Structure 1
Amino acid sequence: MTDLPKAMGLLRTVFKNHAGKDGDPKSLNKKELSELLRAEFPEAGSTSKNELDKFFKSLDNDGDGVVSFEEFVTFAAALTVICHGE
């Protein structure tokens, strides 16, 4: 398997590992997103509840109160551009 399909699979795996612990396995609620961020970005430190609320709202594009896989992938792509864009 080439690198891009591996990366795509990793995104799906990370999402699945955290989604559905407290509800729908096809989405992340605020608690699940917080746990995902702490697990995947430990160097970022802790965030306040207010910061997490703002971040969650920015990811929840359709306003349904959860982050779908599509919304999560959009975040991952934007983060990639920020960290590695030229």
Structure 2
Amino acid sequence: MSANLQGAMEDLITVFYKYSGKEGDKYKLNKKELKNLLHEELSEFLAGPNEASVVEKIMTDLDENKDGEVDFQEFVVLVAALTVACNEFFVDSIKNANK
């Protein structure tokens, strides 16, 4: 894990390209690649019996240009949204602990 913002950005790019291009366009994630990335990197967010429908919903929500794939810019939207949600949870937890 990176200790600075530049390192975190490099890690994000590295993770994306680790999964993209195994099939088809090397600069985009198809549904199978996205599922593998989510399963390997964000498994706690996918836990549950409806994993397939969650992946489908994420794919649909991220695929802004409706080309059936997720490019890096679309992927960053997911990471940003999850980061905001985690931050809100963290802040709420701190507030509740201080009450």
- Normalising by structure 2, what TM-score? 0.77
Matched, 1:22 2:18: no
**Superposition pairs of residues 39-50 of structure 1, within 5 angstroms:** 39-43=40-44, 44-45=46-47, 47-50=50-53
Distance in 2 (alpha carbons) for counterparts of 1:42 and 1:49: 13
**Runs of 4 or more off by more than 4 Å in structure 1?**
none
Structure 2: gaps spanning 5 or more residues: 92-99
1:62 paired residue number: 65
Query: 51, 71, 82: which one pairs with 2:85?
Result: 82
Distance in 1 (alpha carbons) for counterparts of 2:16 and 2:8: 12
AA of the residue aligned to 1:69: F
Distance in 1 (alpha carbons) for counterparts of 2:51 and 2:80: 24
**Superposition pairs of residues 30-45 of structure 1, within 5 angstroms:** 30-43=31-44, 44-45=46-47
AA of the residue aligned to 2:83: T
Distance in 2 (alpha carbons) for counterparts of 1:37 and 1:50: 13
RMSD across aligned C-alpha pairs, in angstroms? Answer: 1.9
Query: Percent identity over the alignment?
Result: 43
Q: Is contact 1:18-1:28 (8 Å) kept? A: yes
